Structure 1
Amino acid sequence: MKNCSTSVAVALVLGLALPVLAADKTQPVRMGSGLMTFDTTPGWGLGPDGKSVIGPCHGGVVVDKDGNIYTSAHAGVFVFSPEGKALRSFLGDKYSDMHDMKIREEADGEFIYGARNANAEGIKFNARTGDIVLKLPFPTESGPKPEKFNPTAITVAPNGDIFLSDGYASDHIYKFDKTGKYLMHFGTKGNGLKEFNTAHGMTLDTRYNPPRLLICDRNHAPKGRLLHYSLDGEFIAEVVTGLGMPTSASVQGDYVSVPDLHGRLVILDKNNTIVAVLGYNADPAKGGNYNIPQADWIEGVFSGTHGSSWDKDGNLYVQDWNVSGRIMKLARVK
């Protein structure tokens, strides 16, 4: 696999990461390159008063088959129309603090799978009704219960097997069947080739046949990277290095969007080459900073990029890790 530590620098030199800043927050900002060119959508997801709807957030984004956007925050899960109108929400202790989410259409409806780091569990619930149908606490069959179990990522295999990454604790990745039965776990904490130093994000990489796990090794030294593992927990390859602090990954077709906590989002093609860098924050005091209030947001510049997802038209929805609750729509330029 290609090592892309130099690709990031090349992208910056070429200007792929630098949006054309608008004079005010009401004007869209164009960013990206070539096929991966986007315009921001000013005010998307804000309430009638112009303020954030979701509140403090440290979560993910998914899009259902109707094009509605779900994003998780401290208070719960919020649902928006493609135009940015708040439709409904799932709030309270049952839905709070979903650090990562995936959505899956199944025989009896669409379901959201969530990794709840602060609540030490994985969860599955109906995307329409909010009914919780499965919980995944620490699997005691896997060994002694640890002092801390902090799941950060979740994904689902084609056959329904569920993978839950304990990215803020052991760095083990636990595999369950679709009923929640523990099957196995893999992964070792460390900084070696086949080890994880914060297995923070994870998705099913459908660009390959058979599909495989794409795992964000966020704190790998000297900079974060992406890894491929088989669905049986076998190491395949180091995919990309030099990515800063990759927090999650979302696949559509041949492309992968990878938010970087430093304040940018990179897009990789089928060859895992960086083809666009979006929302680059050149201010080291603000990139990777949770405490940027809404009054200080800059259109087209990210601060703590954490979650992303594509819709069927190739638009991107991006969430910052942010004290005020920032969710953005990047409209694909045709």
Structure 2
Amino acid sequence: MNTEKNNSRRAFIKASAMAGAALSTPSFGFNIINKPVLYDEVIGHGKFRYRVHKAWGDLDPASTPVKNCHEMVMDSKGRLIMVTDETKNNIIIYDKSGKMLSTWGNEFKSGHGLSLFNEGGEDVLFICNPDGENPQVVKTTVDGKKLMTLPDPRKISVYEAKDRYLPTETAIAPNGDIYVADGYGSQWILQFNKEGEFVRKFGGPGNNDDQFSTAHGVAIDDRDPNNITLLCTSRAHNSFKRFSLDGKYLSTIFLPGAFVCRAVIDDENIYSGVCWSRLKYLNQTSDSGFVTILDKENKVISNPGGTKPVYKKGELQLMIQETPIFNHCHDVCIDGDKNLYICQWNANKTYPIKLERV
């Protein structure tokens, strides 16, 4: 009995010491801050703060499994459409309450990019499948009818036969031109017309301003309707790079510490999932994701799950994960009430998380 009491006393002292150490942990540094995570807590900064609903998109994994929840879009009927790389149900369609409405698709082993375009009053989807055996960009109806498959650039003399082609994202211009980011392949942005005919390529691998290191995403920035441009992700450069619609480099938005995925435009803001941030020794660190939000001037104004954005002499300082709510944020979808839905890669087969705007 005395031994049990002594063991209990030692355990209590150890727990008390650990609690005291946790309370003394600084709020910023090169390590993830392991403070308790409450999934109804509020995260974010300024006017862009959100209540976390961790279980919003949870489904029965026995009947509707996921591997990686790669991307999500909202159609004209307010339905939330998500692509996964689980071939039992490549596409999962939710309502805004988190109820599953339907599923379809079993051919996209690497289902990754998902873009929506309103074509003559009808919603269509563009799905990127960066599968090494059968890389594809496929245009479908919302319910899965295949409408077009873009040509493999190796088969139309745009690439050499030995080149890698692993498309990760598309963006559709107002005239119907299709821009494909070959983000896991040869690092080019490929432009096709609406009939699927090749127009041009630009970018390529490298560290020059007009080149990419992981050209993971591409988006149409139409916030200025008189000057529509492309925002192309260079993820390992922690950057969005702006190009004209005919492929000329214009500028870079540098986001130090943030390995951003695609840019998502909503009203005057840019949203993006941050897959990793730079923690110890400034290395890309696993399970260090957050969300970043930029204003109309392309300044970061909120980092839900990350550190508060700080500018010194006009220069954005390093941004890292602050609260370990997320593993690897891969995409952000915004609904009409400005709530966010976060899809994650490599997050233990978890479903999307809802961030309710407060």
Q: Which whole-Å CA distance do the structure 1 matches of 2:206 and 2:324 have between them?
A: 35
Deviations 1:250-275 (A, max 9, x none): 11011111111111111000111111
Q: Which of 113, 121, 134 is the aligned partner of 2:126?
A: 113
Q: Which of 158, 176, 182 is the aligned partner of 1:142?
A: 158
Q: Which has the higher helix share?
A: 2
Give the superposition deviation at 1:70: 1.2
After superposition, where does 1:194-205 map in structure 2 within 5 Å? Answer: 194-205=210-221
Which residue number corresponds to residue 273 of structure 1? 299
In the superposition, the TM-score normalised over structure 1's length comes to 0.82
**Contact preservation (8 Å) 2:85, 2:112:** no
What secondary structure sits across from 1:219 in the alignment?
helix
1:104 aligns with 2:128: no
Which residue number corresponds to residue 73 of structure 2? 62
The residue type paired with residue 324 of structure 1 is K
1:311 aligns with 2:326: no
**CA separation of 1:257/1:60 partners in 2, compared to 1, >3 Å: closer, same or farther?**
same
In the superposition, the TM-score normalised over structure 2's length comes to 0.76
Which residue number corresponds to residue 234 of structure 2? 217
After superposition, where does 1:1-334 map in structure 2 within 5 Å? Answer: 22-23=37-38, 27-47=39-59, 53-57=64-68, 59-75=70-86, 76-93=90-107, 95-107=108-120, 109-118=122-131, 119-127=134-142, 129-139=143-153, 140-208=156-224, 209-220=226-237, 224-262=238-276, 263-280=289-306, 301-322=325-346, 323-333=348-358
What secondary structure sits across from 2:191 in the alignment?
strand
**CA separation of 1:18/1:236 partners in 2, compared to 1, >3 Å: closer, same or farther?**
farther
Q: Which whole-Å CA distance do the structure 1 matches of 2:215 and 2:110 have between them?
A: 18
Give the superposition deviation at 1:52: 9.8
Deviations 1:226-277 (A, max 9, x none): 1100110000101223142111111101111111111111100011111100
Structure showing greater relative contact order (alpha-carbon pairs closer than 8 Å, 6 or more residues apart): 1
The residue type paired with residue 314 of structure 1 is K
**Contact preservation (8 Å) 2:167, 2:180:** yes
Q: Which whole-Å CA distance do the structure 2 matches of 1:54 and 1:269 have between them?
A: 36
Identity %: 26
Give unmatched runs, 5+ long, in structure 2. 1-26, 277-288, 308-319
Give unmatched runs, 5+ long, in structure 1. 1-11, 282-286, 289-298
Q: Which structure is larger by alpha-carbon Rg, 1 or 2?
A: 2
Q: CA RMSD in A?
A: 2.6
Give the superposition deviation at 1:325: 3.2
Q: Which whole-Å CA distance do the structure 2 matches of 1:307 and 1:161 have between them?
A: 23
Q: Which whole-Å CA distance do the structure 1 matches of 2:197 and 2:77 have between them?
A: 31
Which residue number corresponds to residue 291 of structure 1? none
**CA separation of 1:54/1:64 partners in 2, compared to 1, >3 Å: closer, same or farther?**
farther
Q: Which whole-Å CA distance do the structure 1 matches of 2:65 and 2:34 have between them?
A: 26
Deviations 1:275-294 (A, max 9, x none): 1001239xxxxx99xxxxxx
The residue type paired with residue 326 of structure 1 is Y
- Please say which of residues 251-260 and 106-115 is displaced more in the overlay: 106-115
Aligned length: 296
The residue type paired with residue 124 of structure 2 is F
Q: Which whole-Å CA distance do the structure 1 matches of 2:334 and 2:36 have between them?
A: 23
Q: Which whole-Å CA distance do the structure 2 matches of 1:124 and 1:159 have between them?
A: 16
